[in-house]
Amino acid sequence: MTTAPALPLELFDLRNLERYFAEGKLSKEQYDSYLAGLEDSSDNADVSSVQMLSHRRVRRMETVSSEDES
């Protein structure tokens, strides 16, 4: 069971953590305590793979596809 933090969840937003630490809105100890209280949800994870294409390759593929339609 997850223990609810005594602080607002907005303070734990990864995009703002460094700023909150610097401003004193959140301490490293509070953050570590929050992380320790989270349950392990790794059993719910799915594995996926992604192939990234460069924009040049996508354009070439689009060009070939449009030529085939003609």
**Tens digit of pLDDT for each residue in 40-66?**
999 999 999 988 877 776 677 677 666
Q: Which residues contact 2 (CB under 8 A, 6 or more apart)?
A: 37, 38, 39
pTM of the predicted model as reported, rounded to 2 decimal places = 0.51
Question: Residue 1's pLDDT band (boundaries 50, 70, 90)?
Answer: very low
Domains in the chain: boundaries: 1-41
Instruction: Work out the mean pLDDT of the chain and round it to a whole number.
Output: 81
